[in-house]
Chains A and B, each alone.
Chain A
Amino acid sequence: MGIEFDKDRPIYVQLVERICGELVSGVRQPGDKLPSVREFALEVGVNTNTVQNVYKQLEQMQLTETKRGQGTFITPDILKIRSMREDLKRQLVDRFLNNVETMGFTQEEVLQTLKERGGI
């Protein structure tokens, strides 16, 4: 049931990332309504406390808005989504570089390989 999670990070953190990813890829659009806490909990197979926490984080990141009696919506403010997109990109690159440096590769040789591979 639901989805699988990494062992080494809290589930709510992974769900926040997942929703951010869906915003970046366009699966969720500005202004879209998010499922209710319970619906989302059932969908991914976690408890409602976890989803409450996810929605709280998203709201603090100003990516969602709660309309009284109507539910939670993705912000219509495209600038907010764009800035999250930039942050997410930087985080992913940092994590990647951190990994390759830990393994002893230099940034130059990694950049070289990236160029060969994708025609950067």
Chain B
Amino acid sequence: MLEARNVQYQYNKRVVLEDVNVQIELGKIIVLAGENGCGKTTFLKLLAKLLPPKQGQILLNGSQTARDTLASIAFMPDDQHFHPYFNGEQLFYFFETQFHDFQQSKAREIASFLKLDLAEKISKMSKGNISRLKLAATFGRRSCYYLLDEPFEGLDPLVREDLVKSLIQFVDLEKATILMSTNEMDDVSKIADELMILKDGKIIIHENLDVVRSVHGMDAKEWFQSFYK
């Protein structure tokens, strides 16, 4: 379990996360939603231990030690800083040198499912193909928690559909959890188990979507919008 306990974060004097408490179990697809600038990226980076919280704790399986954290958590950033002269193949070799849990064979399988040409230079790739490559590289890692920051933003519907299909195809929900930030509920409402809403520096909602459907008669999109009216 990945857990945030009383987590607070601020940039200079601007408090982004005030008091975040959340428990993330293994074996789920979870959507993290919230208005632009509400702190979703900061929260994901804290969970990935890429930023230290100003107050509070991030615990992995009850422990704060960071020793095995890097192998357990894969963070996929919104922007990408891949070397533009690399091709896909070189990127995978680079990932192999950076992450002990990276498996060439898995990354290649995903790349082939997404019909990527691994010989093409990243500088020549379309935005859609860069996103596909980013996903293949991220899920080439054998992690327990995949934290994806805005995986669908700015992509056309065909690419988004491709990415959703790969999530269904390649994530073993017996061993892993995906937490992804997005407000594109149409893309994810059918594949998400839970919805989390970050608002005013806190997680105000963390709910199972089957419950939302039965109790409130709403899908993820309506439920999300109901908090901003």
Contact = CB atoms under 8 A, between A and B. Distances in A.
A9 B173 CA distance: 23
Contacts of B219: 5, 7
A8 interface: yes
B190 A5 contact: yes
A47 B193 contact: yes
Contact of B168 (A8, A9, A12, A42): A42
Contact of A8 (B27, B169, B213): B213
Interface in A38-95: 38, 41-42, 45-50
B161 A1 contact: yes
Contacts of A7: 213, 217-219, 222
B97 interface: no
Contact of A9 (B28, B167, B169, B213): B213
Interface residues of B, number: 22
A11 interface: yes
A45 B190 contact: yes
Contact of B217 (A1, A8, A42, A48): A8
B191 interface: yes
Contact of B29 (A2, A45, A47): A47
Contacts of A38: 168-169
Contact of B173 (A2, A5, A42, A48): A48
Max chain A C-beta neighbours (<10 A), residue from B171, B191, B218: B191
Contacts of A118: none
A5 B192 CA distance: 14
B193 to A, nearest CB: 6
For the side of the interface on A, what is the size category?
A: 10 to 19
Given A47-B29, A47-B168, A11 B190 contact: yes
Contacts of A104: none
A109 to B, nearest CB: 29
Contact of B214 (A1, A5, A9): A9
Contacts of A12: 210
A98 to B, nearest CB: 16
A1 B158 CA distance: 10
A48 B167 CA distance: 10
A57 to B, nearest CB: 12
A110 to B, nearest CB: 25
B61 to A, nearest CB: 21
A119 interface: no
Interface string B19-45: 000000001110000000000000000
Contacts of B171: 48
Nearest to B216: A8
A26 interface: no
A3 to B, nearest CB: 9
Nearest to A7: B219
10 contacts: A2-B190, A8-B218, A9-B214, A42-B165, A45-B164, A45-B168, A46-B190, A47-B191, A49-B27, A50-B193
Interface of A: 1-2, 5, 7-12, 38, 41-42, 45-50
Given A45-B168, A47-B191, A48-B168, 4 more contacts: A8-B214, A47-B192, A47-B193, A49-B28
